[in-house]
Structure 1
């Protein structure tokens, strides 16, 4: 019988604004406390299977396989390996997807998977000098080769809003909803305090559409993406235990069953639409429909991205990030996909939680990743 992968013990750090609350912590410093907490919960529940691997998503760390460093720093032991995944903003979700597929293969029984990002300590990067020229510093690697569009994500968000007719007022209204719902939510049960931070740092109560409307465009005259209806650059980490339904049931752990997962490519000029083909693929493979979804978590990199995906798929906006998202909380790039799953677990595993949930990310260069989960009763 094919093992059924499930997600258990979903935890995350508070999300810190880059350069502020978690500014002194490296990728491993952020990841290790969450790994230690998740591993401890699994041991306490009686899951006796050894940890087969740590799979960590990360975008802009120092290299050198931060997953292995974090596993050692967490005290998991020298026999627990680690591998680092880079699918940019979808890295944390991709890490969990890879772990789930390995559990489904039957070759592994327990993997800790998620992501971590420290924008605050990301190393400076330079292209090597040509001839006598000075080295050239860059903030990101290319998302696409020469001959393809390769816009920065903020510029691409503005382009997407123009192409899809998503005006500034609608973006600000969605952003106000994100800020308001996050401010009203209690995330304490899912958090592992680190660096003295015990709550998400960016969340601000009282952020209304009227206040957001006063902000200037962030990415050029005539644009509609602002500091208020876009995510903040952030630090944070999130992990889940990925194991078999059999082991989770034997331990009595609340769990989300992984129903399906998918990645897809899309137009590099409009990377915000990347989740659309990935979501369609995972729903098709699982023989489910958009109307079956009870909750959807999409990385709120920009309001225009979430709204364009909702329009394209016919998603009910009220089901998307019902307790706020990255616009309010921040976007620790490599961790954000795993943060979505922590949020799904927190909501779906309540006594009255929805049965079916979806997490999805848009990715620079024109990609999307989606994971579909259902509540295990």
Structure 2
């Protein structure tokens, strides 16, 4: 299929990212996702729905209501189970004829959902709403059932990989990756401080406003901290490994939030004549489960190769900043200047609502490439527990 026949992102929205237990604590995963889906399907400046702002020459994201929604695809990691996408679609008021699919690729779920939507639209016409959601605040407690005389036991997460291969938590794995790449505490704290400074500056300039859907009275991201310096971060103790370099300050938070995009097939996009992001290529890759944070590297390389682009030709780079040391290690392997990553702040500052974070990256590309005029080509990539990575390359069109 030629590049001109590739699906196009024509709208991108997200909720504010809340700190677990705070502003969005009363919202379930379905509540958060439904808010974004409803926004993407109602009125001008949204993903679907007729109105004065729709039609050729309209603002990014305006699409007439005669474009059928084929499906809602959402990623989720720790929700209540079942099909959150279907519940959210119905809760948002979509017709009962619109199906929903929930996918789980752990931290990569939101971007994996978009990859699935891209594949679906290569053979269908219309629109697919895709993204992800996480409510750490309302995630249910999980229990292994009783075994013999042993009582039921609570656990924090499902396995990422078989224990005999290696199934580390992401924090200790990030410490290991940083050590193997010679990335010290000072470099990690400096990167984290820069992420917060960039996010605060963007927030204060109103740079996030157009992409946000207020929920439960929250209309701004909760986590970015003004004045968070390297000196303040240096006071924090190692969070995961004795004598390690990864701390709560140079790691992402535990967060709530949802993000989604509207994708349409190429023919529908040509008919509409609205600005968008053409999906040039996607990739999903596997790496050693003991070094899961490096999943960004092969996924980004594969996506760029399939798109016929080099990193030097990419204008905006959005990596999920789970840990400063992990992002810096990926940059080292890709020979990428870390200054180019998340120029308006990333997950270290904004937060990491696991199932939504991959979709947040695409929302950020949409904001910078179409609304911010930051260039034409963008790369989004995220690492996944268990040793996977997901990436996507887009160009403004």
Asked if the contact 1:290–1:314 (Cα under 8 Å) also holds between the matched residues in 2, the reply is no
The answer as to 2:264 corresponding to 1:262 is: no
- C-alpha distance in 1 between matches for 2:101 and 2:392: 20
Runs of 4+ in 1 over 4 A off after TM superposition: none
Q: Any stretches of 5+ residues in structure 2 without a counterpart?
A: 55-63
In the other structure, the counterpart of 2:49 is 43
Residue range with higher mean Cα deviation, 279-288 or 176-185 = 279-288
Q: SS where residue 267 of structure 2 aligns? A: helix
Q: SS where residue 218 of structure 1 aligns? A: coil
Per the TM alignment, residue 35 of structure 1 is displaced from its structure 2 partner at its CA by 0.3
Asked if the contact 1:102–1:108 (Cα under 8 Å) also holds between the matched residues in 2, the reply is no
Superposition pairs of residues 2-13 of structure 1, within 5 angstroms: 3-13=5-15
Which whole-Å deviations, capped at 9, do the CAs of 1:40-81 have from their partners, x for residues lacking one? 222132151211000000000111100000000000111111
In the other structure, the counterpart of 1:56 is 74
Relative to structure 1, the CA distance from residue 359 to residue 212 in structure 2 (aligned partners, 3 Å threshold; closer, same or farther) is: same
- C-alpha distance in 2 between matches for 1:216 and 1:197: 31
Q: SS where residue 241 of structure 1 aligns? A: strand
Asked if the contact 2:124–2:265 (Cα under 8 Å) also holds between the matched residues in 1, the reply is no
Q: Any stretches of 5+ residues in structure 1 without a counterpart?
A: none
In the other structure, the counterpart of 2:193 is 176
Per the TM alignment, residue 32 of structure 1 is displaced from its structure 2 partner at its CA by 0.5
Superposition pairs of residues 95-106 of structure 1, within 5 angstroms: 95-104=113-122, 106=123
Which whole-Å deviations, capped at 9, do the CAs of 1:207-266 have from their partners, x for residues lacking one? 111111111111121111111110000000001001023323433422000000000000
Per the TM alignment, residue 292 of structure 1 is displaced from its structure 2 partner at its CA by 1.0
Which whole-Å deviations, capped at 9, do the CAs of 1:113-172 have from their partners, x for residues lacking one? 000000000000011111111111111001111310110000000011111110000000
Which whole-Å deviations, capped at 9, do the CAs of 1:314-356 have from their partners, x for residues lacking one? 1122221000011001100000000000000000003632111
- C-alpha distance in 2 between matches for 1:108 and 1:310: 38
Which whole-Å deviations, capped at 9, do the CAs of 1:257-289 have from their partners, x for residues lacking one? 000000000011111111111111111112211
In the other structure, the counterpart of 2:165 is 148
In the other structure, the counterpart of 1:221 is 242
Match of 1:76 among 94, 102, 125: 94
Asked if the contact 1:9–1:38 (Cα under 8 Å) also holds between the matched residues in 2, the reply is yes
- C-alpha distance in 2 between matches for 1:51 and 1:180: 39
Tell me the TM-score normalised to structure 2 length.
0.92
In the other structure, the counterpart of 1:237 is 258
User: RMSD of the TM alignment (CA)?
Assistant: 1.2
Tell me the TM-score normalised to structure 1 length.
0.97
Asked if the contact 2:125–2:267 (Cα under 8 Å) also holds between the matched residues in 1, the reply is no
Per the TM alignment, residue 108 of structure 1 is displaced from its structure 2 partner at its CA by 4.2
The answer as to 2:268 corresponding to 1:251 is: no
In the other structure, the counterpart of 1:188 is 209
- C-alpha distance in 2 between matches for 1:351 and 1:330: 22
Residue range with higher mean Cα deviation, 210-219 or 87-96 = 210-219
Q: SS where residue 88 of structure 1 aligns? A: coil
In the other structure, the counterpart of 1:277 is 298
Per the TM alignment, residue 107 of structure 1 is displaced from its structure 2 partner at its CA by 2.3
